[in-house]
Structure 1
Amino acid sequence: MEINPKTNERIANYKLLIGGVLPRPIAFITSIGEQGVLNAAPYSFFNVVSTDPPMIAVAVMRKPGGVHKDTARNILESKEFVINVVDEQNVDKVNVTSCDYPSEISEVEQAGLTTSPSQVVHVPRIQQAKVHFECRLHQHLELGNGPNSDLIIGEVVHIHVDDTLYDGGRIDTKKLAPIGRLAGTDYVTLGNIMSMPRPTYKKE
């Protein structure tokens, strides 16, 4: 099958992207709105983009008519947010927060989640997550026609790692038990781990 995305409907391209770019890590983002409401929502268009300084990027799709989602609007206003890592133990509650609640309703309360203060930013972090990245907005890019997406690049200013996961400067992946996003309503657990050392070029 050969497909030209320029002649494809937007939703058709979306389905191909989420069905081919996977598994995707999930950024469970907490942010604070103008009225002080704590917002929380999961996003799977997410990854690391720099290590010096450490930076993380998340693409937040806009609502119909090019309207900002609460997460993007909050981050653009406050310049701060927290990424809470999704794992097997918290994914059910995280899924509750994906509902399109009105801005005045806190998804954290609806999901029965609890929070802890952050160290550097004003946005609280989710206690049920074992890893948190406190972030300050580094750059914002509007993407797509309309535009239809906000690319949020955050500089990581503080990291929390549960003591049970921390091992000599590394995070124990198996103990973290992260969850990945697939297409549709499907998620994936860690599964089998395959180790493959990177080859080294040796000039003859």
Structure 2
Amino acid sequence: MISVNPESLTERENYKFLTGSIIPRPIALVTTQSDTGTINIAPFSFFNIVSSNPPMISISVQRKEGVSKDTARNAIQKGEFVVHITDENNVADANRTAKELPSDESELGLTHFTLAASDKVSVPGLQEAKVRFECTLEHAIPLAGSQNKPGCDLLIGKIVCYHIEQDIYHNGRIDQNGLKPVARLAGHTYTKLGELFEIERP
């Protein structure tokens, strides 16, 4: 067993340890809107459930040299965002949105996505996603990084509306095989659902 002090590692080395071991990670494809109306789209695999009562999710948006990314800045300014589950059908377009663009340029033009009006928030979603969550921002927490600069913005969103493709929703449950979710591994590697098994809780 190898023991490593994370304080002795660079940010990049810590990133490799984390993303190589905490796998697979679901991918949130997030839409936000700037104060000038630009639609930002970006994928994040530092993403998971916080609570079911109330329904809340978390997304950690890493900063670049202490500066917040468009997603975090827009979500904080507007107090709203929409989260989509990345699947086999949209993962290629989701990956295209990871390209760095000027803040006033939308990633939408890099993809085949079309916008869909939301019911409870002003930020639009993406029509092609099988599952999307309209969210209001409950908390935005800057977490300390190196050189006294925050390393990331932790966003906690409360889900105010679910949208689920009818074909994958049966008897109150989502068909995971129909959803065909894609998850992130390390580097440029992704994975699909593999062999499934069940274990009953004691």
Provide TM-score, normalisation by structure 1.
0.95
Task: Tell me which residue corresponds to 2:173.
Answer: 170
Shifted more, 72-81 versus 138-147: the winner is 138-147
Runs of 4+ in 1 over 3 A off after TM superposition: none
Describe the SS at the equivalent of 1:72.
helix
- Output the CA distance in 1 between the equivalents of 2:200 and 2:107: 42
Q: Deviations over 1:7-26 (max 9, x none)?
A: 11111011000001010010
* Counterpart-to-counterpart distance in 2, 1:88 and 1:106: 23
Report matched runs for 1:74-89 at 5 Å: 74-89=74-89
Give, in whole Å, the separation in 1 of the partners of 2:195 and 2:143: 36
Aligned counterparts, 1:3-22, within 5 A: 3-22=4-23
Q: Measure, in 1, the Cα distance between the counterparts of 2:107 and 2:193.
A: 26
* Residue matched to 1:105: 105
CA distance in 1, matches of 2:83, 2:199: 29
Alpha-carbon distance in 1 for matches of 2:31, 2:108: 9
Could you give the per-residue CA deviations for residues 133-167 of structure 1, whole angstroms, max 9, x where no partner exists? 00000011111221110000000000000000101
- How many percent of aligned residue pairs carry the same amino acid? 44
User: For residues 42-93 of structure 1, what are the alpha-carbon distances to aligned partners after superposition, in whole Å with 9 as ceiling and x for unaligned?
Assistant: 00000000111100000000012x1110000000000000001100000001
1:151 to 138, 145, 154: 154
Residues 184-203 of structure 1, C-alpha deviations (whole Å, 9 max, x = no match): 0010001111111111xxxx
Q: Following superposition of structure 1 onto structure 2, how do residues 15-30 of structure 1 map, counting pairs within 5 Å?
A: 15-30=16-31
The residue type paired with residue 137 of structure 1 is L
CA distance in 1, matches of 2:106, 2:7: 38
Counterparts of 1:111 and 1:62, CA distance in 2? 24
Deviation, structure 1 residue 112: 2.6
- What's the secondary structure of 1:17's corresponding residue? helix
Cα separation, 2, equivalents of 1:104 and 1:198? 50
Q: Distance in 1 between matches of 2:152 and 2:92?
A: 26
Deviation at 1:34, TM superposition (A): 1.4
1:123 aligned onto 2:123: yes
The TM-score with structure 2 as length reference comes to: 0.96
Q: Which residue of 2 aligns with 1:195?
A: 198
Partners in 2 of 1:150 and 1:76 — Cα distance?
10
| Structure 2: tracts of 5 or more residues without a match | none
Q: Which runs of 5+ in 1 are unaligned?
A: 200-204
* 1:48 has 2:49 as partner: yes
2: CA distance between counterparts of 1:36 and 1:28? 19
Structure 1 Cα separation of the partners of residues 36 and 104 of structure 2: 8
1:35 — aligned with what? Answer: 36
Q: Secondary structure at the match of 1:95?
A: helix
